[in-house]
């Protein structure tokens, strides 16, 4: 199933994670599709390679999912990596998106978990709407963009 | 399972390189990485063992440019080819838009190719895909090896649905770009058909 993200929902997500970044005193908050596609981020994202972050996190979550199933668990909904300086808190929202928080000593695991819990519920509501919208009106607005594309346009991409 | 970010007018597609161990999947990706303009590529990630065998995946984000007002991005992945990494291999197939099967032309690897196609079929099914329906191309790699079987033989035996076949020598870049181009086109056409 394709996932289609529109301006309206993206703005809502942005407001939510901007707030989460402040509340959790995080360096970076990042939202990624479970397939490794980045959705949006907040905080010091200019300092890291976000495409790699998205892909590696999705791989990490997929591997942990496989591990969970192997031992008969539905999923491990939270992953936590502790470093010398920075820590990474990863959680799954609506079984479809991944919320990543990178934080240092200015915050704490307890605070991050608390804030993530609250924000996740809100994020889940937004993504439920996005998924419904993708299912019910998959081509809204996109039809025009795609219908204009000819075989030649596609060929020209590679010329 | 393309990801369409209408807000940013971006289409993101995922293509996976599949095939038996040491067939040249990573080499395909490395060549693309080396030859692509720095502005159009991201960092290539290889999760490999100390002996450079793929452990989990290789990943290369590629910016193909724009069609009309839409930016087109491809995420290229390879799977670990070795038989015992099947659990990891399955995971990489999640959310794919197309598959490039890299076959090893050498006679000694003929059975390994067949086994890998079977494995692909099975793993795709587990992820809810049908090999007969997804965009799929076949690359016959290692054409420069002395024990390479004739193209006709390999095409006849490995072709699953009349897909396009390309001859390759991945370290020299022969056939690499052509294969990717064919697969990407199929993915984009499929995407257009579905919207």
Cβ of B6 within 8 Å of Cβ of A6? The answer is yes
Residue A1 within any structural domain of the chain: no
Q: Mutating which of A3, A11, A36 best tests the B interface, going by the most B Cβ atoms within 10 A? A: A36
* A83 in any annotated domain: yes
User: From residue A80, how far is each of A16, A20, A94, B98 by CA, in Å?
Assistant: 22, 17, 18, 32
The boundaries of the domain holding residue B138 are 3-194
The domain that holds A129 is classified in CATH as 3.30.450.30
DSSP strand pairing (A78-82 vs A87-93): antiparallel
Instruction: Kindly identify which residue of chain A lies nearest to residue B185, measuring between CA atoms.
Output: A154
Nearest CA in chain B to A48: B43
Domain assignment of residue A142, yes or no: yes
Residue in B1, B70, B188 closest to A35 by CB: B1
pLDDT at A140 over 60: no
State the complex-level ipTM.
0.78
Tell me if A117 is assigned to some domain: yes
On chain B, the residues whose CB falls within 8 A of the CB of A31 are none
- Is the model's pLDDT at A115 over the cut of 60? yes
Decide if A2 and B65 are in contact by the 8 Å CB cutoff: no
Instruction: Identify whether the C-beta of residue B23 lies closer than 8 Å to the C-beta of residue B141.
Output: yes
Which residues face A80 on adjacent strands? A89
For chain A, the residues whose C-beta falls within 8 A of a C-beta of chain B are: 1-7, 10-11, 33-37, 39, 49, 51-52, 55-56, 59, 62-63, 65-66, 70, 138-139, 141-143, 145-146, 148-149, 151, 153-158
Instruction: Count Cα atoms within 13 angstroms, Cβ side, for B132.
Output: 0
Residues B164, B114: Cα–Cα separation, whole Å:
17
Total domains present in chain B: 1
**CA–CA separation, B90 and B53 (whole Å):** 17
Residue A87 within any structural domain of the chain = yes
The pTM for the full model equals 0.88
Give the H/E segment covering residue A61. helix A50-70
- Asked whether residue A127 is assigned to any structural domain, the reply reads yes
Q: Is residue A90 part of a domain?
A: yes
Instruction: Give the list of residues 6+ apart from residue B83 with CB closer than 8 angstroms, or none.
Output: B21, B115
Say which of A62, A154, A156 has its CB closest to residue B189.
Answer: A154
Q: Which residues of A touch B90 (CB under 8 A)?
A: 66
Which structural domain, as residue segments, surrounds residue A77? Answer: 7-157
**Which residue in chain B has the smallest CA separation from A139?**
B195
Strand order in A28-33's β-sheet?
A38-43, A28-33, A97-103, A87-93, A78-82
Tally of structural domains, chain A = 1
The alpha-carbon gap from B7 to the nearest alpha carbon of chain A, in Å, equals 4
B39 part of contact set with chain A, CB < 8 Å: no
- The shortest CB-CB distance from B12 to any of A1, A37, A56 is to A37
Phi, psi of A38 (to 5 degrees): -75, 140
From first to last of the 195 residues of chain B, give the pLDDT tens digit: 677 777 778 888 999 999 999 999 999 999 999 999 999 899 999 999 888 899 899 999 999 888 877 889 999 999 999 998 999 999 999 999 999 999 999 999 999 999 999 999 999 999 999 999 999 999 999 999 999 999 999 999 999 999 999 999 999 999 999 999 999 999 998 988 876
**How far does A123 lie from chain B, in Å, by closest CA?**
17
């Amino acid at each position: 199933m394709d996932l289609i993200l529109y301006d309206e929902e993206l703005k809502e997500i942005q407001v939510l994670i901007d707030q989460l970044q402040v509340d959790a005193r995080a360096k970076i908050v990042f939202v990624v599709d479970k397939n490794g596609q980045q959705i949006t981020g907040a905080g010091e994202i200019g300092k890291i390679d976000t495409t790699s972050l998205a892909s590696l996190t999705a791989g990490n979550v997929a591997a942990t999912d496989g591990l969970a199933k192997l031992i008969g668990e539905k999923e491990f909904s939270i992953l936590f990596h502790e470093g010398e300086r920075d820590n990474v808190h990863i959680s799954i929202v609506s079984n479809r998106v991944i919320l990543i928080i990178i934080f240092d000593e200015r915050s704490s695991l307890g605070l991050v978990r608390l804030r993530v819990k609250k924000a996740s519920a809100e994020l889940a509501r937004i993504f439920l709407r996005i998924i419904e919208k993708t299912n019910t009106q998959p081509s809204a607005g996109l039809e025009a963009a795609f219908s204009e594309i000819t075989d030649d346009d596609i060929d020209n991409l590679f010329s | 399972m393309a990801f369409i970010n209408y807000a940013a007018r971006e289409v993101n597609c995922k293509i996976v390189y599949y095939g038996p161990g040491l067939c040249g999947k990573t080499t395909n990706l490395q060549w693309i990485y080396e030859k692509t303009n720095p502005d159009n590529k991201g960092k290539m990630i290889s999760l490999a063992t100390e002996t450079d065998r793929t452990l989990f995946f290789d990943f290369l984000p590629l910016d193909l440019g724009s069609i009309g007002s839409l930016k087109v991005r491809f995420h290229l992945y390879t799977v670990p080819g070795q038989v015992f990494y099947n659990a990891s291999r399955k995971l990489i197939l999640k959310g794919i838009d197309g598959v490039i099967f890299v076959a090893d032309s050498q006679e000694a690897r003929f059975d390994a190719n067949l086994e890998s196609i079977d494995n692909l079929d099975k793993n795709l099914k587990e992820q809810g895909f049908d090999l007969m329906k997804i965009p799929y191309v076949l690359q016959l790699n290692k054409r420069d090896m002395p024990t390479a079987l004739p193209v006709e033989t390999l095409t006849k035996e490995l072709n699953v649905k009349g897909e396009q076949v390309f001859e390759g020598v991945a370290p020299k870049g022969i056939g690499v770009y052509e294969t990717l181009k064919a697969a990407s086109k199929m993915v984009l056409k499929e995407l257009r058909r579905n919207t």
